[in-house]
Structure 1
Amino acid sequence: MRNEIDIKVKELLANDLQKGVPVLLKDGFHEIDSLVDGTILKLRNPGGKFIGKGYVGKQNKGIGWLLTKNEAEAIDTDFFLKKITSALKHRDDYFNSDDTTAFRIFNGEGDGIGGLTIDYFDGFYLISWYSQGIFAFKELILEALESAVPSYKGIYEKKRFDTKGQYLEDDDFVKGNRGEFPLLVKENGENFAIYLNDGAMVGVFLDQRDVRKKIRDEYAKGKNVLNTFSYTGAFSVFAAAGGAKKTTSVDLAKRSLSKTTEQFEVNGIDVEKQDIIVMDVFDYFKYAKRKELSFDMVILDPPSFARSKKYTFSSAKDYTKLLKDAIAITEKNGVIVASTNNATFGMKKFKSFVEKAFKESSQKYVIEEEFSLPNDFRTSPLFKEGNYLKVLFIRAI
C-alpha cells in the first residue's frame, strides 16, 4: 500500500476542497518544495479535520488533484477500476455507434482523476499522462483498465510532461498487440488515419467532433472554405464531405501536406480539387488580401500559443487581430468558425474579442452557433478551466 502523508492546507483551499473543487492549487499550501510527485496526501483543514485525499502531480494547473473525500478509501487498483468503469458507462452510446469509433473514455477531473485521459481508437486505448505524479500510478491504472476492457486490442501512451530525457520508448506501445498504422477510425461516418506510434499528435483532435459535423451537415455545401492552422485537415475533410465547392488548408508544418493528403485519400476525396498550402497562416492572410481572394467560410483553430520565425501568437492577446485578418477575406454573409482551446479565459471574454474585431473592421455580425466540449469530454462544474473549448459560428452581415 502506498504511503499517505498528512498535510494541513490553508483555509481558502480547504473550503474549495470541501465543495469538491478538484485541483490542488499551489497557493493553498504552506510549503510545496518537499512534496514528491506521486505522493498521496491526506488533506486537512487548519483545524486538523480531514477533508480529502489527493495526489501530488505538478503541472500548470497546480500541484496535484483531489481523488476522494472518503478517508477510508484506499488509492489502489480497485479505486482506479471503479473510476474507469463508471466512466465507460457514460460512453455507452459511443461504444454502440456504427459510425464513430474514436472518442474519449476518460477525461481527467471530469471523470474523477485529474491529470489522466484515455482515448479509444477502434479497440486501441491511448493513455495520456499529464504529470510525473499520475505516471507514478501507471501499473495500478493499467491493471484497472485491463480489468475494465478485457477485450482490448492494444494500449499506447503519451507522456505529456517533461521527462527530462527519461522514458524514451520508441513508439509509446505499452501492451497487447501493436497496431498497424495508419489505423482507420470513423467519426460520424468519415474516416481518419490515426498514428498512435508517431509522436505527441495522433492525427485528429477528438474534441472538435460536434463542430466538424455541424460544418458538414449545415454549412459547407457549395462553399469555398479556408481552413487555417489546419494540422491534418480534419475540418477540410468534413467540409469536402458536406459538398464544399473547394477547400484550402493552410498550416506552417511541412508534414501537414502529406498528412492532409492522406486524410482526403482515405475518404475517397479528390485531392487535386483541394488546395493544401504549407505557409505561415499570417503570411497567407497577407497573400490572400493581395491577390483579392475571398472565402465563404474561414475556420480559425489556432494553438493557444505559437511561434514562427516572423510571428509570435498568443490567443489571449492576439485573437482579435486574427479575427480581423479573417474578416478581411470573408465574403458578405460568409461564416467565420472561431475556435480556441485556451483555458485561461471563458466564453464571455472570447465573445469580446469577436465584438472588438468586427467593430474595428466596421462590420456587423451575428453569432449563429456556440460549442464547447462534446459529451465524452466530461468536465467538473467546479473546475471551469477543464471546459476549455470555445467555438463560435459567426455570420458576417
Structure 2
Amino acid sequence: MKIELTNYGIKRIRQGNPLIQEEDLRQPIKKIPLEWVTFVDNKNNYIAAGYLGKQNKGFGWVLDQTQRPIDQAFIMEKFQQAIEQRQAFFADETTTAFRLFNGEGDGFGGVTVDYYADYLVISWYNQTIYHFQKLIVDSLLNVFPTAKGVVEKIRFKSELKESRWLAGEKPQEPLIILENGVSYAVYLDEGYMTGVFLDQKEVRGRLTEGLAAGQKVLNMFSYTGAFSVAAAYGGALETTSVDLAQRSLPKTQEQFEVNGLSLEQQRIIVMDTFDYFRYAARKNLTYDLIILDPPSFARNKKKTFSVAKDYGRLIEDSVEILSDEGMIIASTNAANLPIKKFKQSIEEALKKKEVSFQLAESYRLPADFPASNFEESNYLKVLFYTIKK
C-alpha cells in the first residue's frame, strides 16, 4: 500500500526523523492498514517504507529508505546489529539486565526488548506492530536462541491482557538480576512494570559508587526503592522511601533483603509525596540528598500531578527539608518536556527559595537506550543540583 506524504513530512524523514505524524499524511486515514506501507511524494516517487500505527509519540514509523523489503531477514538484521552493539553489557558480570533493543533508536520504532538475566521482555506500542508479532518474535529468537523465556507487554489500548508469557520457561520469582553489582528482585509478568526501571542504571550507579556515603537520603515516588537500595549499598547513613502505592512497602523491603542490607536504617513510608513534605517539615526532619523521580502524570483521589506544571512545587518543598548543604537529584521521563524547560522550571523554583545552587552532573539515556533523531526519543533527563541555603 502507498501513502502520500506532505512536503514537510518528507523533509523531516530526510533530516533523519523516523516518526510519522498524522499531519505528515497528504490524505486523512480512516482505517489504519495492518501492513507495511510505502511512503511516496506527490509524483508517486518512493520516499521510505514503514507502517502506520497510533501510539503516544505519533502515527507511524519509517523503517527503511533503501527500498529493501521489510521481511524476516530485514528484522533479524536489526536485532543482530543491536545485540552486537551491546556486547560490552553482555561482558559485564556486574550487570545482568539492560535494554537489548530500543525501538526507533535501533531502527525499528514501536517495539522494545529488555534483557533480564537470559529472559526477554518485549513491549508492543501499537496495534500494527503487534499484528506482526509472530514474525518479529521468530526473528528475535533466531538471532537470540539462548533466551530462556519471553514475556510480552501490550502498551497500547487493547482488550488483550497487559502482560503474558509467550515462550520458554517461567523463572522462579522473584528473578534476581544484577546492576552495578547490586541485586534487584524483578517480576517479569506482573503488569507493565518489572520492579526496576533499566534506563536509570547510571544514576543508580553513582549512588552505588558512594555519592550518598554517610548521608541521609530521601527517595520520593520511590516505587520499589531501587534508588534507596543503591544509596544504602553505597554507604548512605539512612534512607527514607516514600510512595503512595501500598505495594511499595513489601516490594522495597524485598529489595533491601535480597542485598542483605539491614532494614533498621531504612524507613519505608506509604504516603502522598506532598503530604510527606508537610509531615517532614512539621517534624523538623532534614535530608542531605533528595531524589525526585515522579511519573509524568499521576492522579490520586485528591489531586493530579503533572511534571510539566508541578515540578517546581516539588523542588520548593524539597528545599524546605534539605540540609544547609545538600543535593537534589531531579529526574523526569516526560518525553514532551524539553530539557531546557525542565532545567528552567527547577532553577526558577530554586531562585524563588533564594538559595545558591549549581548544576553538578546531568544524565540522559544510557548507551543501551540509543535515541533517534528527534527530541522526544531521548526522553530521560536527570539533573544533580548542589544547593547551599
TM-score range (shorter-chain normalised) is over 0.9
Shift in CA distance, 35/231, structure 1 to aligned 2, threshold 3 Å: same
Partner of 2:126: 131
Task: Report what 2:380 is aligned to.
Answer: 389
User: Which of residues 295, 307, 321 is equivalent to 2:313?
Assistant: 321
Aligned AA (1:24): I
Distance across 2 between alignment mates of 1:311 and 1:328: 22
Contact kept, 8 Å, 2:180 with 2:208, in 1: the verdict is no
**Aligned counterpart for 1:158 among listed residues 148, 153, 156:** 153
What SS is found at the alignment partner of 1:271? coil
**Residue 17 (structure 2) aligns with:** 21
1:354 paired with 2:346, answer yes
Paired letter, 2:89: Y
* Matched residue, 2:269: 277
Q: Do the aligned residues in 1 keep the contact of 2:4 with 2:27 (CA within 8 Å)? A: no
Provide the rounded CA distance (Å) in 2 between the counterparts of 1:235 and 1:215. 7
Corresponding residue number in structure 1 for 2:229: 237
Q: 1:229-308, aligned counterparts within 5 Å?
A: 229-308=221-300
CA contact (8 A) 2:40 2:47 kept: yes
Partner-residue secondary structure (3-state), 2:264: helix
Equivalent position of 1:41 in the other structure? 37
Is the CA contact (8 Å cut-off) linking 1:116 and 1:130 kept in structure 2?
yes
Contact 1:37 1:58 in 2 (8 A): no
For the 8 Å contact 2:40–2:48, the answer to whether it is kept is yes
Note if 1:118 corresponds to 2:113. yes
Verify the 8 A CA contact 2:358 2:386 in the aligned structure 1: yes
Aligned residue identity for 2:331: S
Name the CA shift for 1:279/1:396 in 2 (closer, same or farther; >3 Å).
same
- 2:333, 2:380 within 8 Å by CA — same for their partners in 1? yes
> SS where residue 272 of structure 1 aligns?
coil
1:339 matched to which residue of 2? 331
Contact kept? 1:23, 1:65, Cα under 8 Å: yes
Classify the secondary structure of the residue corresponding to 1:103. Answer: strand
Does the 8 A contact of 1:172 with 1:196 survive in 2?
no
Match of 1:58 among 45, 54, 57: 54
Distance 1:224 1:295 in 2: 5
Structure 1 range deviating more: 248-257 or 266-275: 266-275
The one-letter amino acid of 1:19's match is Q
Aligned-partner Cα distance in 2 for 1:379–1:392: 18
Q: Distance in 1 between matches of 2:191 and 2:347?
A: 38
After superposing on structure 2, the runs of 4+ consecutive aligned residues of structure 1 that deviate more than 4 Å are: none
Rounded to whole Å, the distance in 2 between the matches of 1:318 and 1:212 is 24
Using the aligned pairs only, state the percent identity: 47
Taking structure 2 as the reference length, what is the TM-score of the superposition?
0.98
Deviation string 1:221-271 (CA, Å, 9 cap, x unpaired) is 110000000000000000000111100000000000000000000000111
Q: C-alpha separation between the residues in 1 aligned to 2:253 and 2:365?
A: 27
Q: CA deviation at 1:37?
A: 4.8
Does the Cα contact within 8 Å between 1:37 and 1:136 map onto a contact in 2?
no
Alignment partner, residue 207 of structure 1: 199
Q: Is the 8 A contact 1:104 1:377 kept in 2?
A: yes
Consecutive unaligned residues in structure 2, runs of 5 or more: none
Give the Cα separation in 1 of the matches to 2:206 and 2:314: 23
Deviations, residues 77-122 of structure 1 (Å, cap 9, x unaligned): 1111000000001100011111100000100100001111000000
Structure 1: gaps of 5 or more residues: none
What SS does the aligned partner of 1:236 have? helix
8 Å Cα contact 2:210-2:235 kept in structure 1:
no
Matched residue, 1:188: 180
1:168 matched to which residue of 2? 161
Which residue of the partner structure matches residue 138 of structure 2? Answer: 143
Aligned partners of 2:275 and 2:27: how far apart in 1?
47
**Alignment partner for residue 99 of structure 2, among 104, 114, 136?**
104
Residue deviations 1:327-384 (CA, integer Å, cap 9, x gap): 111111100000000111222111101210111111110010000011000111x222
Distance 2:80 2:25 in 1: 32
RMSD: 1.1
Q: Under a length normalisation based on structure 1, what TM-score does the superposition of the two structures give?
A: 0.96
Deviations 1:9-65 (Å, cap 9, x if unpaired)?
111001111222100111111334334253222101223221100111111211110
Aligned residue pairs total: 388
* Aligned counterpart, 2:370: 378
> Take 2:277 and 2:33, find their aligned partners in 1: how far apart are those partners?
45
